[in-house]
Amino acid sequence: MQHVFPLAYSASPLSTVDEPSIPTVNNGNDSPSHVILFYVNGRRYQLPSPPPTLLLAAFLRDTLRLTGTKIGCGEGGCGACTVMLGSYDRRTEKVTFQAINACLRPICSMDGFAIWTVEGLTKAGGEVTPEGEHVHPIQSRLVAAGGTQCGFCTPGWCMAMYGLVSQRQQEGAEGGTEGGLRKEEVERAFAGNLCRCTGYRPILEAFKSLAEGEGVKEGGKERGKGEGEDEEDEEEGWVKVDCSMGRGEGGALVDLEDMCTSLPPSLPPSLPSPPPRRIPNSTGTGGSSTSEAAVQAVLNACDILLARLQPFLSPPDPPPSSPPTWSAAVQAAAAEGVNLAAEGWFAPPTDRGAPFDYFVYCSAFSEVELDLLTGEVTIAASTIVYDAGRSLNPQVDIGQIEGAFVQGLGYYLTEEVEFDPEGRLLTNGTWHYKPPGVNDIPLHFDVSLLPPLSAAVEAGTREQRRSRTKVEKVGQGEEKKEKEGLILSSKATGEPPFMLASSAYFGVVAAIREGKREWGQGGECTSGETLAKEVPLAISATIKKRIEAIDVPVEAFVL
């Protein structure tokens, strides 16, 4: 019953196997038992007579409290529960690794296997963050590329990649080669993992870089900022805005100097670093407003601090010959016992009827290829140009745009919602409802942000950029509210780009029209309206609807 795995090479996950006293997990069943024995993250467990219905995912989460393994669909369709399985074949004396769905595997089928979860991956990691946390290179690459937003899918992706890398390393060790992984393999390997946030591109980019030993381009720095801006930002000092919800808003960074417009120029503020505190959200996250609401709360906190510091920045009597430096003012305030910590609070206006009355501008171009016989669509390229104003964090904004676009692809092309005559939802699982997967995204996917305004123009409009709702009393108990500007010139990126995926839908419609023309159906098309009449294709334009719209004549199938 007891398999001892050979330590094939030092980097092998098998090297984490130890021989502690064997924990016995009590199943509360006193009947004669068949004991199964297996490893989890290098630790050996024995389990007498496990119930045949007990699944590995539930055992890991509920019994071992290894809750990094998530359960999404529970039916093998999303990959959230992915763990790595190691097995040893006595006959061939070979070790193999593979990623499996823990939601589908009964624990009683685990006898003699070794299982690794994301907790084991973290322990196996050779990198240590500045906060002292151990991470595996797979995880740090994913973070650097912006490949995680809400994070629910992330352990599954990491373990799927770990399974792939471990197997290649094992094969390399057995064959005396380096056991490398090619980018093309990475592209094909993750069809079983879904992500609803990122749009997949950064995940693939991170894993491909790992496959070929390249560095990772950090999305925000590479794609959203001008040369030299990083260094400048470092000098100016940053404030991290932390939110508890949403598709990535928590990473929004804002420039302190920009917020505290009356700080002395060119003096980097020296901020003490108390442990971060969390305050409840002032409103639900949604409507692409979370980042800006959080930043507005930071602005409000900065206003409080500036008001407290004002007597030290501009001492009244007698006025000094030169204004005190920022650090001198802060030190003087601290010596006087001034509270230098402040909590900001912002609740968005609740005007009914016009909750989001500002506009974003963006455009998308998509090139699609349609197989007229099967109805299958390949999106060859999508190019998006987006006006995010002055982006609070380009990496987050680009991630939001890509994620929203790919969600839109699902809405326009695959995610059909069906109900039975009694109103019961029929498309209630991954076998019937089809969100886009990693192979459905554009082969070439390029998102760029319009460059922000020049520094001179920005300086001139700084005050207008500070968003406030000006409230004026205009009568007994009456108030007039007026919106002023945007938060630091930023513009929302969370949900508006969803609609840009219509570019792919219209590409499909145009391709169907061209196909019909080949068969002598349809005439010249002059406008979008004519196109819609000529090719009625309801949304979601699923493969079934596409085939019906193409209406292939039977002769087309004759060779």
Site of interaction with ligand FES (CB under 6 A): 71-74, 76-81, 101, 103, 148-154, 195-198
Please report how close the Cβ of residue 402 comes to ligand FES at its closest, in angstroms. 12
Q: Which is nearer to ligand FES, 101 or 503 (CB)?
A: 101
Q: Within 10 Å of residue 263's Cβ, how many Cβ atoms?
A: 21
> Which CB, 71 or 143, lies closer to ligand FES?
71
CB of 101 to ligand FES, least distance (A): 4
Separation of alpha carbons 163 and 405, rounded Å: 29
Secondary structure of 480-491 in the HEC alphabet? EEEEECCHHHEC
532 φ, ψ to 5°? -65, -35
In the complex, minimum distance from the CB of residue 284 to ligand FES, in angstroms, rounded to a whole number: 18
Least Å distance between CB 250 and ligand FES?
Answer: 12
Q: How far is the CB of 151 from ligand FES (least distance, A)?
A: 6
Minimum CB distance to ligand FES smaller for 159 or for 298: 159
Q: Which is nearer to ligand FES, 105 or 208 (CB)?
A: 105
In the bound complex, what is the minimum distance in angstroms from residue 388's beta carbon to ligand FES? Answer: 20
How open is the CA angle 492-496-498, to the nearest 5 degrees? 135
Name which of 370 and 406 has its Cβ closer to ligand FES: 406
Q: Which is nearer to ligand FES, 143 or 332 (CB)?
A: 143
**Which residue has tokens 């030993």?**
213
- Nearest to ligand FES of 81, 492 (CB atom): 81
Q: How far apart are CA 53 and CA 106, in angstroms?
A: 6
Please state the closest distance from residue 283 (CB atom) to ligand FES, in A.
21
Give the E-state strand segments of 371-429 in sequence order: 377-387
- Helix 201-211 to helix 137-144 angle, to the nearest 10 degrees? 140
With tokens 């995880």, the residue in question is 139
Distances (CA, A) of 336 to 267, 312, 339: 22, 10, 9
Residue (of 162, 132, 179, 149) closest to 9 by Cα position = 179
Evaluate whether 76 touches 101 at the Cβ level (below 8 Å).
yes
How many C-beta atoms lie closer than 10 Å to residue 74's C-beta? 17
DSSP secondary structure code for residue 51 in this structure: -
Dihedral sign for Cα 507, 508, 511, 513, please. negative
Cβ proximity to ligand FES, 152 vs 238, nearer residue: 152
Burial class (CB in 10 A: 0-12, 13-18, 19+), 161: buried
Strand partners, 449: 386
3-state secondary structure of 82: strand
Specify the residue, 154 or 414, whose C-beta has the smaller distance to ligand FES. 154
90 and 63 in contact (C-beta within 8 Å)? no
Between 196 and 513, whose beta carbon lies closer to ligand FES?
Answer: 196
Task: DSSP for 539-551, please give it.
Answer: SS--HHHHHHHH-
At 137, the amino acid letter reads P
In whole angstroms, the minimum distance from the beta carbon of 186 to ligand FES comes to: 17
Where b means 16+ CB within 10 Å and e means fewer, 356-377 reads eeeebebebebbbebebeebeb
Closer CB to ligand FES, 56 or 372, in the complex: 56
Compute the least distance from the CB of residue 440 to ligand FES, in Å. Answer: 15
C-beta closer to ligand FES: residue 208 or 466: 208
C-beta of 79 vs 515, nearer to ligand FES = 79
Q: Is the CB of 198 or the CB of 493 nearer to ligand FES? A: 198
Q: How far apart are CA 535 and CA 508, in angstroms?
A: 10
Three-state DSSP class for residue 28: coil
User: CA distances (Å), 468 to each of 262, 305, 359, 387, 458, in order?
Assistant: 17, 18, 17, 21, 17
**From start to end of 296-371, where are the E strands?**
361-370
